[in-house]
Amino acid sequence: MDYSVVIGLEVHAELKTKSKIFCGCSTQFGSDQNTNVCPVCLGLPGVLPVVNKRVVEFAIRAGLALNCEILPFSKFDRKNYYYPDLPKNYQTSQYDLPICVNGYLDIEVNGETKRIGITRIHMEEDAGKLVHSGNITNSNYALVDYNRTGVPLIEIVSEPDIRSAEEAKAYLEALKSILEYIDVSDCKMQEGSLRCDANVSLRENEQAPFGTRTELKNLNSFRAVQKGLEYEIVRQAEVLDEGGKIIQETRSWDETKGITLSLRNKEQAHDYRYFPEPDLVPLQVSAEWVEEIRQSLPELPNARKQRLMEAYGLSSYDAGVITASQAMANYFDVVVGHGADAKAAANWLMGEVSKVLNASNISITEFAVTPENLASMLELMQKGTISSKIAKTVFEEMVASGKDPATIVKEKGLQQISNEGEIVAIVEAVLAANPQSVADFKAGKDRALGFLVGQIMKQTKGRANPELVNKLLKERIN
Amino acid sequence: MVDLFKLTAHELHERLVNKDVSAVEITKALFNRIDAVEQDVRCYITQTRELALAQAQATDEKIQRGDEISPLAGIPGAIKDNMCTKGIKTTCASKMLEHFVPPYDATVVERLADANAVFLGKTNMDEFAMGSSTENSAFMQTRNPWNLETVPGGSSGGSAAAVAASTAIWSLGSDTGGSIRQPASFCGTVGLKPTYGRVSRFGLVAFASSLDQIGPITKDVTDCALVMNAISGHDLKDSTSIPGNVPDFTKSLVNDVKGLKIGLPREYFVAGMNPEVEKAVRNAVAQLEKMGAQCLEISMPHTEYALTTYYIIAPAEASSNLARYDGVGFGHRAQGEDIVSMYKKTRSEGFGPEVQRRIVLGTYALSSGYYDAYYLKALKVRTLIKQDFDKAFEKVDVLLTPTSPTPAFKAGDISDPLSMYLQDVCTLPINLAGVPALSMPCGYVDGLPIGLQIIGKPLGEETILRVAYTFEQNNDYYKCLAPLGEV
Amino acid sequence: MKITPKDVAHVALLSRLEIPEDQVEKVTGQLNAILEYAEMLNKVNTDGVEPTAHVIPLSNVMREDEVEVSLARELALANAPEQDNGYFKVPKIVEG
């Protein structure tokens, strides 16, 4: 039968501070194992934590960007459990008084806007990394690297407002976009700086009480989030269809096999024994501090999208694609700022530019073509100096050499021929050489005109102004 | 010539400055004293003689150069073995940390080193500071220099006994529920638990983080002020450290209590208290009254709940603080075929029975379903206990009580955990309230010292020192040394 | 609330301690004695009383986001019971 899906996401984002949350060790990714460690993050006897102020700032930034209430009084707590990636065997986190609560994020799915509630955002320390010999089930030992221990995290917990795998993906994309905009996280899923766990359950209909949920882990990419959820939804539906019961448990997404596997039975209780962290004093966040941070926030994706739609008449889709990445939106603003036509700029960014970026797997900040040069190229097109066809040639050359378009056009002699006299001569020569086509056209075969245009373009190496060619051809034939 | 080891830090400082003796001579005198009596008292888990000589040498060079030296420069002392010392074993008297060598110094150790103090070694204690007799050490039994059949108290028994036995001029202890004051009381020394946050805890191996505090154990009140001057003050590495300037505590060494108001909380004069102890404390009060202090009896109604409150909060915090001893990064490891069995074996082998008992108790108090009934309830009662102190200090400047209901007891006499916990009934409310308190000798019973506890307001160490100094200067107790090695 | 040998076993697992079979009874008894004593807290009326987690009224103690020198790896690993190629080494991981 058809079930109604209920999903809530718990997203961990590593904050891009220079130092760790409770000590001065570097947060540098990819350092040699156990080199970014000190007595504090190794949890040696006698050490004490001191909170990194920027972590608190970043958490508040995220809270404001996600429309949260910033609690004026919040505190840290210890979450107690044994695992070798956790040197103290407790994680310093926030339990009953997280720094941000009651926010929301608007996402767009199939052209419709939907609001997903955000329950809370709290700060905590990351754990270390385990390297297993063989795989997790059959290895005889594990190796531990504590470099990541103490890297600051925020955990963003959504309300169970998400109703499909697609919505989950859209939520995660929108969240990533915001965290990048406000510059608090690199959000690189492949490096683990953005991680997502999902709680999934099914129920008979939208009004029915929530069913038993499973927690999905190891969703290491946007694709994995969608595929893992899709699989789990089908799996649960099959269990229910067969009259079975869903067991509350943690399941891991196996990317290669494309299935979810039970990790452990949650019943046997992770009793985390939270209690207030005695080594850290509470946080009192003043209204002034919140205001100061609010003032420093950049324009957020949704606002920026609205602006592009209103100012330039871009479609919701186009504006959404351009503003999904702040770097892309910034690029767009510079191109348009240099006088380029906004719609043409948008089309080029979503078309040729994105094609090049994807093919070479780079971000637009690393792109060889500066926004100023792209604007000049669009201007050349608009003025009729080059045709749209020639523009593609020029663009390729810009990508390859990084040269400005005017230089390329001049060097390669690619200026459009818009001089009537010059084109008339060619038109007459082509007409004289192709009497049959002229006759066909006169007989009503429109396709013949295309052939004649092609002949002229061939002779001018595509540089003849197409409008002028059309006009002159028709004049001469008639 | 007087035996150098018998002198106080301020007396030795004077001789150093006058070039009557050298720091190396003093240090060697202490070595000789240790050689003579350590086998009986057994205070030291680790001795650091080479380091001590090098430190003494450095002070002698300073003196030779004509540099000014700090009051503790060249003065040998001892550090409880739960404070981290870079490159020197720090065991917490536990098998778990038998071979642990910290790669860093505790802030107090750093500060004392900066003051050119001389480190003789690390002292014995109850394992992880859990106990009141130092019998819970995994390594050895420290005895009370006043009577070798009795315990020195605990958990800072090694530190108190070392000062009493003159095998250290000063020492550091830590106090979570009375662990400086009760051994100071048993050993006839001066011991101060400062206001929570006055002395940095960075590098102190945590027992119960919201209660732990480091403080000095010394032969007299003047030395107490000197060590406090060296170790107190804000530390950026301890978030619970109190910011702001610290007074010069020697300015409080004033022989005058006129006009001071002294409170006697009647709940501290408990049933089962040794009558000689009560008599000695009441005598002390009478003396101070004669000297112009105003004494009044007051009531602190929640005192009777302090013990229970403490024995929920402290083990709860300990259960989390001691989770890190798991055989992964440092310390003892037992063989286990998988991580869980390795954890369990390591911890069961590495921790002694009292530590395990408190971990189990604390884990239970925090566990789901019991948190509200035990832990949260205890935190609320803690508020009421603290309010008792706030109200008392609206009326009085200091409170006087016995430090311990009895003098030192015989080794092995108390085996029931609950009876042992009752040892701390007069001291642990002070930790729950976070206020400072000092213990000093105020008499003897059967040749064993009796401790007087002087409790002050938050950051009220100066008033405590003034009262203590006045009492000390008008009595001879500080001149009485343990009879050890005299016969 | 009386603690049972089963509770003791559960708490022992939570705290990763191995209490030998023949000791469980004794530990249970000792804990019950302590917890029985603790029952006296129920006599105290704590309605409307805020819990005290910290005795000193400090808040907002924070450090600047500055990188400090880390430990040399040899020192970080110096106390490790077992190490391998710059890593801490532990027995195979099973879920408890």
Q: What ipTM was reported for this prediction?
A: 0.96
pLDDT in tens, A298-331: 999 999 999 999 999 999 999 999 999 999 999 9
Which residues of B are catalytically annotated? 80, 155, 179
Pair A104, A47 in one domain: yes
Which run of H or E residues covers position C73? helix C73-77
B179 vs B329: CA distance, rounded Å: 29
Are the beta carbons of C53 and A142 separated by less than 8 Å? no
> Residue A265: is its pLDDT beyond 60?
no
Whole-number CA gyration radius for chain C: 22
pLDDT in tens, C13-69: 999 999 988 889 988 998 898 888 888 999 999 999 999 999 999 999 999 999 999
> Residue B444: is its pLDDT beyond 70?
yes
More confident residue, A251 or C95: A251
End-to-end CA distance of chain C: 27
List the single range of A90-94, A262-266, B17-21, B243-247 with lowest mean pLDDT.
A262-266
Fold of the CATH domain B4-262+395-479: Amidase signature (AS) enzymes (3.90.1300)
Given a contact cutoff of 8 angstroms between Cβ atoms, the answer to whether B167 and B33 are in contact is yes
Pair A184, A265 in one domain: yes
Q: Of A396, A412, A428, which closes a domain?
A: A412
For residue C33, CA distances in Å to A383, B312, B317, B413 come to: 93, 13, 20, 19
Instruction: Write down the H helix ranges in B396-460.
Output: 417-421, 428-433
Q: What is the pLDDT of residue A296?
A: 96
For residue B417, CA distances in Å to B207, B311, C27, C31, C34 come to: 17, 11, 11, 10, 9
Please give, rounded to a whole number of angstroms, the shortest distance from the CA of A130 to a CA of chain B: 12
B370 in reach of chain C (CB within 8 A):
yes
Are the beta carbons of B336 and C91 separated by less than 8 Å? yes
CATH annotation of C5-42 = 1.10.20
Token pair of C80 as six digits:
């490790």
Average pLDDT for residues A107-120, to the nearest whole number?
A: 94
DSSP output for B342-409: HHHHHHHHHS-HHHHHHHHHHHHHHSTTTTIIIIIHHHHHHHHHHHHHHHHHHH-SEEEEESSSSS--
Q: Look up the pTM and report it.
A: 0.92
Q: What is the pLDDT of residue B487?
A: 40
Q: What is the pLDDT of residue A410?
A: 83
- Partners of B311 on chain C (C-beta within 8 Å) are 34, 37-38
Q: Which of residues 406-445 of B touch C (CB under 8 A)?
A: 417-418, 421, 432-434
Domain count along chain A = 3
With residues binned 3-state (H G I as helix, E B as strand, rest as coil), the percentages for chain A, rounded to 5, are 40, 20, 35
Q: What is the pLDDT of residue A138?
A: 64
List the single range of A36-45, A324-333, B147-156, B477-486 with lowest mean pLDDT.
B477-486
Q: What is the pLDDT of residue B486?
A: 58
Token pair of C79 as six digits:
């106390």
Average pLDDT for residues A102-113, to the nearest whole number?
A: 93
Q: What is the pLDDT of residue C38?
A: 86
Q: How many degrees, rounded to 5, is the angle at CA B97 between CA B96 and CA B101? A: 160
Domain that holds residue A427: 420-477
> What is the Cα A114 distance to its own chain's centre?
18
> Residue A416: is its pLDDT beyond 50?
yes
Are the beta carbons of C70 and A281 separated by less than 8 Å? no
Pair A231, A212 in one domain: yes
Spatial CB neighbours of B277, under 8 Å, sequence gap ≥ 6: B402, B404, B405, B406, B407, B445, B450
Tracing tokens 């001892």 back to the chain, one arrives at B78
Mutate to test the interface with C, among A15, A139, A143, A252 (most CBs of C within 10 A): A143
Average pLDDT for residues A174-197, to the nearest whole number?
A: 94
Predicted confidence band at A136 (pLDDT cuts at 50, 70, 90)?
low
pLDDT in tens, A346-371: 999 999 999 999 998 888 989 999 99
Share of residues in chain B with pLDDT > 90 (%)? 94
List the single range of A263-267, B211-215, B274-278, B430-434 with lowest mean pLDDT.
A263-267
B322 vs C15: CA distance, rounded Å: 9
Q: What is the pLDDT of residue B485?
A: 63
**Mean pLDDT, rounded, of chain B:** 96
Closest-approach residue (CA) in chain C for B318 = C15
DSSP designation for A366: G
Which run of H or E residues covers position B174? strand B170-175
List the single range of A241-255, B217-231, B320-334 with lowest mean pLDDT.
A241-255
Closest Cβ opposite residue C61 in set A19, A35, A50: A50
Share of residues in chain A with pLDDT > 70 (%)? 97
Neighbours of chain B (3+ CB pairs under 8 A): A, C
Tracing tokens 């020195």 back to the chain, one arrives at B152
Pair A396, A440 in one domain: no
**Mean pLDDT, rounded, of chain A:** 91
Pair A276, A308 in one domain: no
Mutate to test the interface with C, among A37, A58, A130, A138 (most CBs of C within 10 A): A37
In chain C, where the domains are located: 5-42
Closest Cβ opposite residue B97 in set A45, A87, A269: A45
Pair A279, A329 in one domain: no
Average pLDDT for residues A158-164, to the nearest whole number?
A: 97
Average pLDDT for residues B25-43, to the nearest whole number?
A: 97
For residue A478, CA distances in Å to A438, A471, C3 come to: 10, 11, 107
Are the beta carbons of A271 and C73 separated by less than 8 Å? no
Q: Which of residues 33-72 of C touch B (CB under 8 A)?
A: 33-35, 37-38, 40-42, 44, 46, 49-56, 58, 61, 63, 71
Average pLDDT for residues A169-185, to the nearest whole number?
A: 96
A67 vs A174: CA distance, rounded Å: 14
Given a contact cutoff of 8 angstroms between Cβ atoms, the answer to whether B278 and B243 are in contact is no
Strands B44-47, B118-123: parallel, antiparallel or unpaired by DSSP?
antiparallel
Q: What is the pLDDT of residue A267?
A: 41
A391 vs A381: CA distance, rounded Å: 7
Pair A246, A366 in one domain: no
CB crowding B431-448: b at 16 or more within 10 Å, else e: bbbbbbbbbbbbbbbeeb
Q: What is the pLDDT of residue A431?
A: 84
- Partners of A80 on chain B (C-beta within 8 Å) are 319-320, 323, 366
Strands B213-218, B294-298: parallel, antiparallel or unpaired by DSSP?
unpaired
Average pLDDT for residues A6-30, to the nearest whole number?
A: 97
Which amino acid is located at A118 in the chain? I
